[in-house]
């Protein structure tokens, strides 16, 4: 991906196909000169470039010399005031593919403009200092967001929700690193420097902020996988019937349903989607161990014990749990314990409603749904509960996936370096070692925000964008 900012780029910013309005976006040095003589009325370039506010002009654009010009609304931003930080133009025209394509081709062949690469407008915004790398990734996060929570997360990051705390920590580290390096360079000079011990409160605050960010990075990295909803419960509690009912015809392998307890010997998975929220649904074998502890079955060889181990493996991977219990059955000790310890991530599903009256003995404020897999009663309510649980779980992650994947190692390196620096302070170690650890922490944070970067990193990030962004 070329990193030159000198040439003028153009791309269609609106969706392909016919519509009410099509948008062509341009950016680059003296971009206004590229449309001189094609847009009417003529634009006074010197006057436009001295305007503080963006300029809007209603006019026409000459698409072909032998036909009438097309109506066009021009938006102009002078250098430093637009999205890319460069002189920028948007042409709003009738959304006719022949018109849009003809204008792009004319500007490329006659005026020396070139077609923008994927994500090049956002890349230029980053290179010109309008946004940092986390905000650039947030742009892609908004575009690719699968649901409302993901949109909110990306918009918060785009607004500086990650950049601002990182910048605050960076400024703290830079300040103390500068002080340490000055003490080292001018050790023989009669100058007053800030005491090394005065660094401790600031470093402790920085450590707390980086620790919090590291937690968010880990949560988002894990949340980037499809959530797993696990059906659990005693044998013959209606788990497999519920699994088949929720999956419908989407299950590659329907669960075996039988009145005989212990029919399910393995767990099954199917990808489902509720109102745009994708997840994996997992059916497990009935669980019979009252202690809910795997230590007594890890090395066991019987079919029953291996089945219980597989159930435990599925539970360890689970994000949301559907605890099945027959409508007329009192809850067992481990069911009550589970509901108490996993209150926010568990839905109590009272099954076989067509056969029994619901038992009124429930636990606290747990989410409870009564269903019948046979008649379908309560299934829609259960689906809504599942969706709400998934959205609640995902709303706690405040970082877009692309940033979490790229930066989690750098954040951990920075966290380790700041911890080490505090330990060195306790040991009264020399300033040069403290400075080395602070430099390591600062370098890692610079990698996150993009203060240091390589072309390979930028290529990997911005090649995921569509053209025109």
For 437-458, what is each residue's pLDDT tens digit?
888 888 888 888 777 666 666 7
228-394 topology per CATH = Rossmann fold (3.40.50)
Q: What residue spans in the chain does CATH classification 3.40.50.300 cover?
A: 228-394
Query: In the numeric block, which tokens belong to residue 262?
Result: 């212990």
C-beta atoms surrounding 144 within 10 Å: 16
Separation CA 195–CA 356 (nearest Å): 74
Q: What residue spans in the chain does CATH classification 1.20.120.430 cover?
A: 163-222+399-456
Strands (E) in 306-461, as ranges, are 320-326, 346-351, 367-370
pLDDT, residue 295, reads: 43
Q: Which CATH architecture has domain 9-127?
A: 2-Layer Sandwich (3.30)
pLDDT, residue 104, reads: 94
Separation CA 404–CA 414 (nearest Å): 15
Q: Based on C-alpha coordinates, what's the Rg of the chain?
A: 30
Model's pTM, two decimal places? 0.58
Strands (E) in 65-223, as ranges, are 70-77, 88-95, 114-115
Q: Is 204 helix (H, G, I), strand (E, B) or coil?
A: helix
**Phi/psi at 118 (5° precision):** -60, 130
- The contacts of residue 358 (CB under 8 Å, 6+ apart) are 327, 328, 350, 370
369 φψ region: left (φ > 0), alpha (ψ -120 to 50), beta (else): beta
28 within 8 A of 5, measured Cβ to Cβ: yes
Query: Domain 163-222+399-456 is in which class?
Result: mainly alpha
Give the CA count within 13 Å in the CB-facing half-sphere of 383: 18
Residues with pLDDT less than 50, the chain: 1-2, 255-265, 291-300, 363-365
pLDDT, residue 294, reads: 42
Exposure string (b/e) for 214-247, b if CB count within 10 Å is 16 or more?
A: bebbbbbbebeeebbbbbbbbebbbbbbbbbbbb
Separation CA 12–CA 2 (nearest Å): 19
Q: What residue spans in the chain does CATH classification 3.30.1360.120 cover?
A: 9-127
Of the candidates 314, 255, 311, the residue with the CA atom closest to the CA atom of residue 286: 311
């Amino acid at each position: 991906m070329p990193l030159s900012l000198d040439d003028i780029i153009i791309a269609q910013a609106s969706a392909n196909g016919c519509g009410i309005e099509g948008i062509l976006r341009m950016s680059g040095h003296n971009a206004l000169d590229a449309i001189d003589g094609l847009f009417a009325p003529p634009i006074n370039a010197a006057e436009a470039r001295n305007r503080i506010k963006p300029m809007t002009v209603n006019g026409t654009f000459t698409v072909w010399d032998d036909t009438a010009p097309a109506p066009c609304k021009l938006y102009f931003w002078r250098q430093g005031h637009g999205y890319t930080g460069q002189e920028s133009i948007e042409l709003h025209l009738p959304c006719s593919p022949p018109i849009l394509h003809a204008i792009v081709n004319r500007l490329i062949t006659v005026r020396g403009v070139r077609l923008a690469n994927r994500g090049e407008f956002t890349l230029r915004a980053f290179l010109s200092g309008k946004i940092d790398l986390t905000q650039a990734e947030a742009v892609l996060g908004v575009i690719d967001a699968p649901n409302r929570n993901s949109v909110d997360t990306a918009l918060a990051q785009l607004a500086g929700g990650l950049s601002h705390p990182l910048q605050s920590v960076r400024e703290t580290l830079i300040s103390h690193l500068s002080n340490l390096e000055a003490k080292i360079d001018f050790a023989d000079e009669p100058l007053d420097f800030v005491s090394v011990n005065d660094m401790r409160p600031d470093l402790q605050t920085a450590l707390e902020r980086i620790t919090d960010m590291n937690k968010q990075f880990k949560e988002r990295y894990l949340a980037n996988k499809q959530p797993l909803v696990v059906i659990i419960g005693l044998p013959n509690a209606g788990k497999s019937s519920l699994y088949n009912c929720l999956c419908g015809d989407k299950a590659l392998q329907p669960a075996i349903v039988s009145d005989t307890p212990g029919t399910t010997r393995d767990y099954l998975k199917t990808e489902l989607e509720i109102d745009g929220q994708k997840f994996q649904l997992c059916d497990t074998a009935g669980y019979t161990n009252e202690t809910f502890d795997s230590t007594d079955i890890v090395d066991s060889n019987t079919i029953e014990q291996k089945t219980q181990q597989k159930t435990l493996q599925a539970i360890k991977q689970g994000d949301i749990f559907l605890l099945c219990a027959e409508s007329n059955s009192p809850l067992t000790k481990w069911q009550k314990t589970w509901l108490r310890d996993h209150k926010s991530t568990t839905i109590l599903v009272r099954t076989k409603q067509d056969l029994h009256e619901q038992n009124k003995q429930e636990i606290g404020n747990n989410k409870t749904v009564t269903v019948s897999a046979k008649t379908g009663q309560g299934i829609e309510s259960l689906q809504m509960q599942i969706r709400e649980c998934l959205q609640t779980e995902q709303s706690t992650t405040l970082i877009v996936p692309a940033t979490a994947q790229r930066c989690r190692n750098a954040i951990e390196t920075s966290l380790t370096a700041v911890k080490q620096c505090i330990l060195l302070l306790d040991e009264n170690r020399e300033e040069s070692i403290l400075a080395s650890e602070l430099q390591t922490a600062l370098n890692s944070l610079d990698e996150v925000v993009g203060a240091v970067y390589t072309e390979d990193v930028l290529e990997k990030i911005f090649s995921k964008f569509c053209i025109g962004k």
